[in-house]
Amino acid sequence: MLRIKEQAEQLKKMLEQHKVLEISLPLCDSERETVAMVDRLSDLPESLQLRILSRLDARQAVQTLALSKSWVSSWTCIPVLNFTCDGLDAFVVNALSRRQSVKLDKLTFKHTGTCGDIISEKVFDYAFSHGVEELEAKLQYINSWPIGLHTSSDSLTSLKLFSGNSANCSFLEPRSGSFKNLTNLYLREVIITNLDPFSGFPALDKLRLDFCPLRTKGNALNVHAPRLSEFAILYYKQYVNRCEFTTPKLRYFEWQGCNFPKLTCGGLPVLETVVIDYNGHCRQEQERMMFDDLLMLFNPLQNARSLTLFSPVVHLLTQFPVNGCSPFWKLKRLKLDFISFRNDNLFKGPCRLLMDLLELVPGLEAYLLPKSDDANCSVMVINEINPEARAVLKAAFARRKAIQ
């Protein structure tokens, strides 16, 4: 009874948002508690029933059959499946076997324990065979993702794979038409072994790689995706020596790593936004080389109109003198992000405090931001209304203006 009451309460909140139903839960005598519910659920349109059930975890969706006779089989038709498992794989298998053969719009599969090959293959095979459009899997422990060389899907548009350990994935290699409509790809802790892992996705528009181990010759990363517009890379404790881009439609590029790779590309004519952060540790005798690598990274990104730099990158740029004009000749917006400032992730040198670094902002702005009436520089600190930080910035800009 308590479980039914909890389900009814949750359903009531969801239905009240749509303003379609009121559910009353009066209590009976003190000997036992019963739940009386006005059964108007049958009057709900089927489309609204499926919409509500699609927002629940699959286990909760199945349990709603106790709320209304008309809902006994509704869960078998929902277009969105959300599985959260902690080792109870039998429920997943039973739910998939009892679901009606209707198209699947989205499937989310989360497993907090060790996920065996049988259950992962079962879930992925079911998704692909039922025309899934969005597939998201978050598995704590898995050896290899069950997407083979011969797996194909014309319906898949979004694929997100998260794992708590480094996992193999054999589908990352050049091939034709296997996922021809895939537009969004997110990979975390997926091992990349092929020198050309993404050219097999001709419609790819958004790509994000988080902590994906590179096991290619020379730690090189090649991205050949003619329609790619957004690309973000996050690496920690691994050096990426070289990146080669064939992405003529790239508009957004984000790099967070422990080094600055050599970037070669055939031109990025429509590039709008660049975000660069550094999360490694560098010995003092290597700082000059790291500085030179950063300036070399700037060159192929010269068409950017918006540039965001985090505190370690700002600190590195102030360590050595810079000569010449800004490498970003179209730049209109410069953002310096000090929100996550920590002096333990800075390079060596005299500027170890936030206020010391803020003193150097005007000089950095003068170097990176071309002079223009519509160009602007913004500084983000831990507390944007910090009066001390504002005073330091104001005084620094005033001194530079007086010198000019």
What residues contact 364, with CB distance under 8 A and at least 6 apart? 314, 317, 318, 336
Lowest mean pLDDT among 91-95, 97-101, 192-196, 342-346: 342-346
> In the chain, what are the domain boundaries?
1-77, 307-404
DSSP 8-state assignment for residue 81: E
pLDDT band at 345 (very low <50, low <70, confident <90, very high): low
> At 55, which helix (H) or strand (E)?
none
Mean pLDDT for 332-351 is 73
- Whether the CB-CB separation of 360 and 317 falls below 8 Å is answered with no
Rounded to two decimals, what is the model's pTM?
A: 0.83
pLDDT at 379 over 60: yes
Whether pLDDT at 392 is above 80? no
- Following DSSP, what letter does each residue of 238-305 receive, concatenated? ----EEEEE-TT--EEEEEESS--EEEES--TT--EEEEEE-S---GGGHHHHHHHHHHHHGGGTT-S
Q: What is the pLDDT of residue 269?
A: 94
Over range 254-283, report the average pLDDT.
90
1 — pLDDT class (breaks 50, 70, 90): very low
How many other C-beta atoms can be found within 10 angstroms of the C-beta atom of residue 181?
15
pLDDT at 372: 82
Beta strands (DSSP E) in 99-150 are: 106-114, 134-141
